């Protein structure tokens, strides 16, 4: 289901090959190759999304500044590549991304990049544990593909799909964050062996910071454990599992999938049935949906930011994002 919906967003995007080539040509013509551009190019590192851009920036330290593609309040689920992005990717030495599933905009371009560009897909890094994408809008009734439970008409569309879809939001488990840091250091050292000592030292410091943040979050969330909440899109299961704060459901599996009236009705039923305290929106999807689903239920609206849309890009963005999630949960669930 997620696969299908992501593929469908590929159709009719401005990234069709023909349009892409003409954009690229225009972008090349527009760039002035000054001295600073050449220096930056020496070790050009491009990163798709803010959480992993932060980790790459932290490991690179003073060696260089990685370029971020999905900046500001954009979402990787709905992002489309700009000509300047295509140019940066083509000139990069290293490209870091999570996976095709979380960054569908990388699917075509990565296949077309010159062999000089090394693409590191971090969801495949050693030590990163992957969870299967959850199905359905309320997870307690979710089941695996192929099983059938009578009366779950909501799941009918899932049965044809045999291949499990991995949930790409891997960075929301700090243990995965640590494995990602190690893999980033490995890739950077391979590309720039003379900076190996710096990358190792920065990676060790980054890992210590992540471990400390995880401890703080454990302590902060202790007071709200067991309080039911509903999230906007199903982004959080890595965070939920690591910190023991399971969501009761999600309004939509992915922000590019519009929830049906039936799904919204079931969410509203669950909110009342489970006495859900909070329904969390996201900063980049200021959706009326949350207001609609909480109306008359007694649940409050909160905000969670799984992709760091409201966080300033930079080496601290990863830890800020994790801490903000904890704060977002406690500030709504705790009051
Ligand atoms: Zn997401």
- pLDDT band (50, 70, 90) for residue 318: very high
CA 77 to centroid of ligand 1, rounded, Å? 6
pLDDT at residue 29, rounded to an integer = 41
CA 190 to centroid of ligand 1, rounded, Å? 30
| Nearest residue to 309 (alpha-carbon basis) of 232, 222, 251, 202 | 232
DSSP 218-267: HHHHGGGTT--EEEEES--HHHHHHHT---SEEEESSTTSPPPHHHHHHH
CA 151 to centroid of ligand 1, rounded, Å? 29
Strand partners, 94: 45, 118
As a CATH number, domain 215-333 is 3.40.50.1980
CA 72 to centroid of ligand 1, rounded, Å? 15
Domain ranges of the chain: 2-28+41-124+172-212, 215-333
CA 110 to centroid of ligand 1, rounded, Å? 20
CA 279 to centroid of ligand 1, rounded, Å? 16
Q: How far apart are CA 127 and CA 147, in angstroms?
A: 30
pLDDT at residue 138, rounded to an integer = 59
- In sequence order, the 6+-apart residues with CB closer than 8 A to the CB of 76 are 48, 49, 70, 98, 102, 103, 104, 105, 307
CA 131 to centroid of ligand 1, rounded, Å? 14
Q: Is the pLDDT of residue 307 over 90?
A: yes
CA 120 to centroid of ligand 1, rounded, Å? 20
- In sequence order, the 6+-apart residues with CB closer than 8 A to the CB of 236 are 169, 172, 247, 304, 306, 325
Q: Can 2-28+41-124+172-212 and 215-333 be said to share one CATH topology?
A: yes
CA 60 to centroid of ligand 1, rounded, Å? 26
Question: What does the pLDDT look like over 159-216, one tens digit per residue?
Answer: 444 567 889 999 999 999 999 999 999 999 999 999 999 999 999 999 999 999 999 9
Question: How much is the average pLDDT of 261-285?
Answer: 90
**Total residue count of the chain as it appears in this document:** 335
CA 303 to centroid of ligand 1, rounded, Å? 14
CA 26 to centroid of ligand 1, rounded, Å? 32
**Side-chain-side CA neighbours of residue 16 (13 Å):** 6
Most confident of 113-122, 149-158, 245-254: 113-122
CA-to-CA dists, residue 102 to 17, 99, 272, angstroms: 21, 6, 32
Instruction: Judge contact between 54 and 4, C-beta under 8 A.
Output: no
CA 169 to centroid of ligand 1, rounded, Å? 6
User: pTM surpassing 0.85?
Assistant: no
Provide the CATH topology of domain 2-28+41-124+172-212. Answer: Rossmann fold (3.40.50)
Cα angle value 143/144/148 (rounded, 5°): 65
Give the tokens for residue 164.
């499990």
- In sequence order, the 6+-apart residues with CB closer than 8 A to the CB of 2 are 101, 133, 165, 253, 254, 257
SS3 label, residue 8: helix
Q: How far apart are CA 298 and CA 291, in angstroms?
A: 11
CA 236 to centroid of ligand 1, rounded, Å? 8
């Amino acid at each position: 289901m997620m696969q299908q919906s992501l593929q469908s967003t590929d159709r009719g995007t401005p990234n069709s090959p023909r349009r892409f080539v003409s954009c690229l040509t225009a972008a090349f013509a527009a760039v002035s190759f000054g001295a600073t551009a050449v220096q930056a190019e020496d070790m050009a590192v491009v990163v798709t999304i803010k959480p992993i851009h932060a980790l790459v920036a932290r490991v690179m330290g003073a060696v260089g500044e990685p370029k971020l593609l999905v900046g500001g309040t954009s979402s990787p689920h709905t992002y489309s590549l700009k000509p300047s992005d295509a140019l940066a990717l083509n000139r990069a030495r290293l490209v870091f991304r999570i996976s095709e599933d979380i960054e569908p905009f990388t699917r075509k371009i990565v296949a077309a990049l010159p062999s000089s560009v090394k693409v590191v897909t971090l969801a495949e890094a050693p030590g990163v544990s992957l969870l299967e994408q959850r199905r359905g809008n309320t997870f307690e009734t979710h089941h695996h593909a192929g099983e059938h439970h009578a009366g779950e008409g909501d799941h009918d569309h899932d049965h044809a799909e045999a291949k499990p879809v991995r949930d790409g939001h891997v960075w929301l488990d700090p243990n995965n964050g640590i494995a990602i840091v190690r893999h980033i250091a490995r890739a950077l050292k391979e590309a720039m062996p003379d900076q190996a000592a710096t990358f190792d030292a920065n990676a060790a410091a980054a890992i210590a910071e992540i471990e400390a943040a995880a401890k703080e979050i454990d302590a902060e969330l202790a007071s709200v454990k067991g309080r039911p909440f509903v999230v906007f899109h199903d982004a959080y299961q890595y965070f939920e599992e690591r910190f023991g704060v399971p969501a009761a459901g999600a309004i939509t599996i992915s922000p590019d999938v519009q929830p049906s009236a039936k799904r919204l009705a079931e969410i509203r039923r669950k909110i009342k049935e489970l006495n859900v305290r909070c329904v969390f929106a996201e900063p980049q999807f200021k959706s009326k949906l949350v207001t609609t689903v909480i109306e008359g239920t007694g649940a409050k609206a909160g905000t969670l930011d799984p992709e760091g849309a409201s966080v300033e890009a930079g080496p601290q963005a990863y830890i800020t994002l994790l801490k903000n999630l904890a704060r977002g949960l406690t500030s709504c669930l705790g009051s």
